Structure 1
Amino acid sequence: MDFELNEDQRAIAEMAGSLMSDYCTDERLRDWDLSGQAYMHELWSGCVETGLHALAIPEAAGGSGLGMTELMQILDAQGGALAQVPLWRHQLAAATLAEFGGAPLAPWVEQAVTATGLLTLSLDGLSNVRGIELQASAEADGWRLDGRVAALALAEQSVAALVLALVSGLPRLVLVDLGQAGISSVAGVMTHGEALADLNFEGVTLGKHQVLPEAALDWLAPRSIAALAALQLGVSAEQVHRTVAYVSEREQFDRSIGSFQAVQMSMADTHVHLEVLRSALWQLCYRLDAGLPAPAEALATAYLACEAGHRIGHTAQHVHGGIGVDLTYPIHRFLYWSRALSSALGGSSVILERLGDWLSDNDTLGWKYDLDEHQAL
C-alpha cells in the first residue's frame, strides 16, 4: 500500500504551508487579536489568488475539482498556523450546492468560485443539546422558516448560509440568503477569535429549490467532520512541535525538563494521540474520495479529534508551567482553537453516543465488509 502524497498533492501542501506560516507569525497573530477583524482579509486574498478557496468545488462549477485528501492538506496547514480564514465552510457549502442544488442555485456557487461573496454553513444542530431550532413549513410557492440558528460562523460577513432545518420532523439542509427580510442577528466572537452570530428567523420565505435533497446532508456531514479534524490535526501537530522545543530548552535543576521521564512519557502520549488521529483522518478522506460510505469512520475521526485536542492541549499547557497561561506567550492560542474545534464537532461524549447508536443498528463495520479482499492461495 502506498501512503505517499502524489506530486500535485505535495505541491498543494507546500504552497498552503508557506502561505499560512509566512503570514501568521506570532507577532501578527498578537496584532490580529486586537484588530477587531472578523477574519484575516489579506490572507484570504492570498488564498483566492492561489485558488485555495475553490479547491474542493467541482470543476464543472468553476472550481479545481479536487477531493478531501487535497483539502486536508490546506486545512492541516491552516490549523498549524492558526490562520483565521473561511476556507472549509466556504468551499464545502459551495460544493454541496454544486452537487445537489442544480441550476437555480448555480449563481451562489459562482459567487463562491469568484470570491465575490462568502458562503458559510452550520451543522451544529446535529450535536447541539437543543437540537435543530429552525422549522421549515411548506407553503404554496415554497417554504417558510421560523426559529433560530445559534453561533453561525461569519454570519454577518457572508452572503448566504447552508443551515439545518426540520422538514416534516427530519433534518434537511436549506440555503438562506442572509440579506433577506425576517432575519435578525446578535453578533459575538468565539474564544479563539472567530466571528459568529446568533440568527433569528421570523417568517423568512424560501423558494422550493432552497431546501436541498435528503442526500445532501449525508454527503456534507462526513466532509465537515473531515475538515474540522484536519484543522485539529494541524493545530495539535504544531502544538506538539512547539512544546517539544520548549521542554528541550527549559532547564530545571541544571538539566532540560525534557530529560525528565515524566515529561518524556507525557510527550510520547501526545505523539500517539496525534498519529492515531492522522491515521483515522487519512482513512476517512480516502473513503470519501473513493465514493465509499463512511458514517462510522466519520464519527470515529470526530471522537479522536476531540480527544487529541483535549489531551494534547492540556499536556502542552501543563509542561509549559506558568508561562502557558501568560497571554503574551503564544501556546494558549492552540488550546483555544482546540476547544473551539471540539465544540464545532459536538464534543467527545455526544459523538460516542451517536457512534453507539450507529453500531446498535449496523452489523458491519470497516473496510473489509465493503471492499474486495484478494488473498493469495
Structure 2
Amino acid sequence: MDFTPTEEQRAAGELAAEILDRSAEPWKALCEAGLVAAVEEIGLLGLVLLLEEAGRRTAEIPLAATCAYGLLPVAAHGTDEQRARLLPGLRDGSYIATGAFPHRSARAVASGDGWRLTGTFPVVPWLRVATHVLVPADTGAGTDTVTRLFWLPVPAGVEPVDTTAPWAAARLVLDGTPAEPLGDGAAYGELLARARTAFAGLQAGVCAGSLARAVAYTSVREQFGRPLSTNQGVLLRAADAHMDTEAIRVTAYEAAWRFDNHLPAASHALTAAWWASEGGKRVVHAGQHLHGGIGADLEHPVHRHFLWGRQLDAYLGGGAEVLAELGVLLGAPDTEEAV
C-alpha cells in the first residue's frame, strides 16, 4: 500500500497554495485556474491536498463543501442528464454546493413524478453563499426505511446562524420542498465517508498552520534571556502537536487513497474523522497556549486556527460520537465496509 500523492496531485496542491497566497478573490481564482474541476481527475486524495492548503491559511472558501457535497457526488451518482446540467456550473464556480449533514431525520415523499422534502437542519455550513444543497432524507417506513440523497436549489430567505468559524452558515427548513434524487440508497453512506475524509484533510491543514505559527513565535519570543522554544515544556507540547497533526494527515491520506483505488474505506474514513476531531482539538489548543496571552487575542492569526479547529471538531461529530460509530462498524458480524 502506497498512498503517496502523485505528481499531478502534488502539483495541484502547490498551485492552490500559490493562488491562496496571492489572490484577493481566492475562490474565483481557484475556479478560473481549473483546480475545482481538476478534482474529478486528481480524486479524493488530490482534494485532501487542496484542502490542506486552504486549512493552513484558514481560507474562507466553500471548497470542501462544493466538492464533497456537489462535484464528487454528482459525478459519481448523477444521471447522464444531471451530470450534463450540473457539473459545468460546479466546475467553473457558478454553482456553489453544500450539504445538510449530518442526517437529521428529514423525510422525502414521492409526489407525482417528483419528491418533496420536510425537515429542519439547524446548522448548514456555507448555506448563505450556496446555490444548491444536498440533503439526506428518509424514504419508506419501518424496516423498509432508506436514507437517500436529494438535490435542490437553496430556498430563498434562509436564516443566518453564527458558528465558531466564519462558515456563512444558516438554518435550513424544508416543508414539502421539491427536490430531485441523486443516486440510490447506497450513495448516502459513501458520500458521508468521503465528506468526513475531505474535512479531515481540511483539519490537517488548520493544525499544520497553527503549529507553524506556534513554532515561529516561540523561536523568537524570549523569556529570561533565551527563546521560549529552548524550554523543555514548550518542546514537548509542540512535539505532541506535531504527532497529532501527522496522524490526522496520514489517516486522511490513507482513507482518500483507498476511495480513489476502490477499496473498502468506511472504517478508515471514521478513523481519519476521529483523529481530526480529537487530535485537531488538542493541536489548536496547544497552538493558542504556546502563544501565551496574545493567543487569546481575537485579532491574532493563531486564534483563527483555534476557532476553525473547534468548529471542525464539532462538525465531524466529536471524538466520542465518531469512536462509537467506528466501534459499531468494527463489531458488526459479517459486515463488509462500504467503498
Give the alignment's TM-score, normalised by structure 1. 0.82
Q: Where does residue 19 of structure 2 map in the other structure?
A: 19
CA contact (8 A) 1:309 1:335 kept: no
CA contact (8 A) 1:184 1:200 kept: no
- RMSD of the TM alignment (CA)? 2.2
Shift of 1:78: 0.5
Query: C-alpha separation between the residues in 1 aligned to 2:330 and 2:227?
Result: 47
Query: C-alpha separation between the residues in 2 aligned to 1:190 and 1:90?
Result: 19
Q: Segments of 4+ in structure 1 off by > 6 A?
A: 363-366
Q: Secondary structure at the match of 1:148?
A: strand
Q: Where does residue 161 of structure 2 map in the other structure?
A: 188
CA contact (8 A) 1:54 1:91 kept: no
CA contact (8 A) 2:10 2:46 kept: no
Residues 312-371 of structure 1 show CA distances to partners (whole Å, capped at 9, x for unaligned) of 1111222211111112321100000101111221111110110111121047899xxx9x
Q: Where does residue 31 of structure 1 map in the other structure?
A: none
User: Against the structure 1 CA distance between its residues 266 and 362, is the aligned structure 2 distance closer, same or farther, given a 3 Å change threshold?
Assistant: farther
Q: Where does residue 112 of structure 1 map in the other structure?
A: 90
User: Against the structure 1 CA distance between its residues 241 and 185, is the aligned structure 2 distance closer, same or farther, given a 3 Å change threshold?
Assistant: same
Q: Where does residue 54 of structure 1 map in the other structure?
A: 37
Picking from 80, 83, 102, the partner of 2:56 is: 80
Q: Where does residue 304 of structure 2 map in the other structure?
A: 333
Shift of 1:174: 0.9
User: Against the structure 1 CA distance between its residues 188 and 2, is the aligned structure 2 distance closer, same or farther, given a 3 Å change threshold?
Assistant: closer
Shift of 1:197: 0.9
Which sections of structure 2, spanning at least 5 residues, go unmatched? Answer: none
Residues 238-283 of structure 1 show CA distances to partners (whole Å, capped at 9, x for unaligned) of 1111101111111112222211111111111111111222221121
Q: Where does residue 358 of structure 1 map in the other structure?
A: 329
User: Against the structure 1 CA distance between its residues 333 and 243, is the aligned structure 2 distance closer, same or farther, given a 3 Å change threshold?
Assistant: same
Residues 139-177 of structure 1 show CA distances to partners (whole Å, capped at 9, x for unaligned) of 332222112122122223222111111212332211112
Q: Which moved more, 1:230-239 or 1:275-284?
A: 275-284
Q: Where does residue 6 of structure 2 map in the other structure?
A: 6
Q: Which protein shows a greater Rg?
A: 1
Query: Where do 1:195-344 residues align within 5 Å?
Result: 195-207=168-180, 210-344=181-315
Q: Secondary structure at the match of 2:60?
A: coil
Corresponding position: 1:171 with 2:150: no
Which sections of structure 1, spanning at least 5 residues, go unmatched? Answer: 24-39, 58-64, 126-131, 371-377
Picking from 126, 132, 146, the partner of 1:160 is: 132
Query: C-alpha separation between the residues in 1 aligned to 2:165 and 2:260?
Result: 31
Corresponding position: 1:98 with 2:75: yes
Which AA in structure 2 matches 1:315?
Answer: A
Q: Secondary structure at the match of 2:169?
A: strand
Count of aligned positions: 332
Q: Secondary structure at the match of 1:55?
A: helix
Query: C-alpha separation between the residues in 1 aligned to 2:128 and 2:151?
Result: 15
User: Against the structure 1 CA distance between its residues 2 and 186, is the aligned structure 2 distance closer, same or farther, given a 3 Å change threshold?
Assistant: closer
Q: Which moved more, 1:319-328 or 1:150-159?
A: 150-159
User: Against the structure 1 CA distance between its residues 14 and 206, is the aligned structure 2 distance closer, same or farther, given a 3 Å change threshold?
Assistant: closer
Residues 46-98 of structure 1 show CA distances to partners (whole Å, capped at 9, x for unaligned) of 011111122223xxxxxxx2211211111110000111111122123122122
